[in-house]
Amino acid sequence: MTAAIWQLSESELLADAAAVSHQIQLLEARRIALVAEIDTRVSREKLGFPGPAGWLTSTTLLSPSKATKIVALARGLKDFPDIADAVNTGVMSVDHAALILTFAETPPKNLPQAGQDIARAALVKAAIGPGAQTGRLRAAITRLHDTYGSKKPPAEDTDRNELFASKTLNGRLIMKGGFDAVTGEKLLTALSPLTEHQPAADGTPDERSPAKRRADALEHILDQYLASSDRPIEGGERPHVNLHITLRDLTDLRDSADSADIADDENTRTAAESDTSADAVDINTDNPIHPDGADDADGLSVSDSSRTPAESDASEPGADNDGDGDGDGDGDGGAAADRGAYRDLFGDGTTVGWLPWMGPLSRNTSRQLACDCVLTAIVMDENGSPINLARTARTVTAKQRRALIARDHTCAFPGCGKPASWTEAHHIWHWADGGPTDMNNLVLLCRFHHRLLHHSDWEVFIGTDNHPWFVPPATVDPYRQPRPSHARAGPHIA
């Protein structure tokens, strides 16, 4: 019988921790081997994804980057048995194996095969055991690329340019990159005039750090780019920032409770469909949403993802739904408060601002952003689904696409979540079979899952909550239990 941890002596604690760590390394190696076999034998239809990485992310606690690394190792180690042996025996970490594998698969251009074998053997030796240091491995690989890489000097080698952008758990974006001298010169030249100190009107010095000034300069450059009419097309329209915010929060900008006439009129031409500057307006009445709206609104639009005002007010925590004036909401105030707290915490698209790429946004920032943009009002029902957007044409209009993004957020297939700009509108009841182009017959899917729905036994339908639900084939789930869309997955308070 295994003793409780508190009962172990100091020596036993140290020995057990080391033994468990070794077992973890061996389990990591087995998982890589299992994924390699899955990659070879399991069909895409059964996985429900283009490869094992998406399946791993959707069915385990692995992050997309970690799952991608495991699949890369599973596919690559079979070609390099020396690295595989070190991993399988638990003497080399998965991270170090990934570093060496990347070098082995993309060696310096001018390093002959014999040199590649010698270098790989040296790297494997340096990566074995507790004394292995990631910094030393990276430095050695960098020296090899500098010495035997492109005939161009490192400063002029554009093949080595790279830019990484990762969203953090707290909703921020971290960027890291490396550029050749010419590209670097362009960047610094563009940033330079925008990073100068800007004292206040009263002469107070600019207290921003150099890093903060550079970040502010980059934001300015992005604003100018998105305001340009010369930018390329993506997803059928020029790239622009979309903000989904509740109607209730938007009407706070006007300090007015009379917001019932903000709705989606099929025959109204929204200002957001052009590249002209305008203040935020009600698309039905042309009245300003905020009299002090900013002048320049190009490249920025708002999709209003809310319930109707009556529904919003009725569901507020403590609302007097039973009409007795006591504000108890017929005893449901506590449950309503729980629902409100849940939605604020998890950002399910009904009570907080939401950005398609970056996710939930606070109300204050949402309101600030809404002041500086053209308003595209997309009124939602109580389940967060756009209403009154029926169309009879085969092609999805720009307004319908914005409504689909407000509802589905991403590729709707369970566990996928590819950005909305990478998706296509799928007709659930095929257009060729008489299916209409309206909201209850459309769902956003990435190209892979769009093909999967057309060429497999996966099915999709719009549920009673007006959101997509997916039914797996019997080969995936013998009971064929419907699964919620990616944006709706996870815990929900009734």
Chain segment 344-399, per-residue pLDDT in tens: 555 444 445 667 677 777 766 665 565 545 444 455 555 556 654 443 455 677 78
CB neighbours (10 Å) of residue 202?
5
State how far the Cα of 428 lies from the Cα of 404, in Å rounded to an integer.
13
pTM: 0.56
Dihedral class, residue 12 (left if φ above 0, else alpha if ψ from -120 to 50, else beta): alpha
Question: Is 26 strand, coil or helix?
Answer: helix
Average pLDDT of the segment spanning 279-305: 39
State how far the Cα of 436 lies from the Cα of 161, in Å rounded to an integer.
46
Which of the four pLDDT bands, split at 50, 70 and 90, describes residue 429? Answer: confident
Q: Is the pLDDT of residue 247 over 70?
A: no
Which of the four pLDDT bands, split at 50, 70 and 90, describes residue 98? Answer: very high
For the CA atoms of the chain, what is the radius of gyration?
27
pLDDT in tens, 462-493: 998 889 999 999 988 889 999 999 988 654 43
DSSP characters over 420-467: GGGEEEEESS-GGGT--BSGGGEEEEEHHHHHHHHHSS-EEEE-TTSS
Question: Is 237 strand, coil or helix?
Answer: strand
Tell me the CB-side half-sphere exposure of residue 480, using CA atoms within 13 A.
8
Q: Is the pLDDT of residue 201 over 60?
A: yes
> What share of the chain has pLDDT > 70, as a percent?
66
Contact by Cβ (8 Å): 247, 306? yes
Which of the four pLDDT bands, split at 50, 70 and 90, describes residue 278? Answer: very low
Q: Is the pLDDT of residue 85 over 70?
A: yes
State how far the Cα of 485 lies from the Cα of 348, in Å rounded to an integer.
12
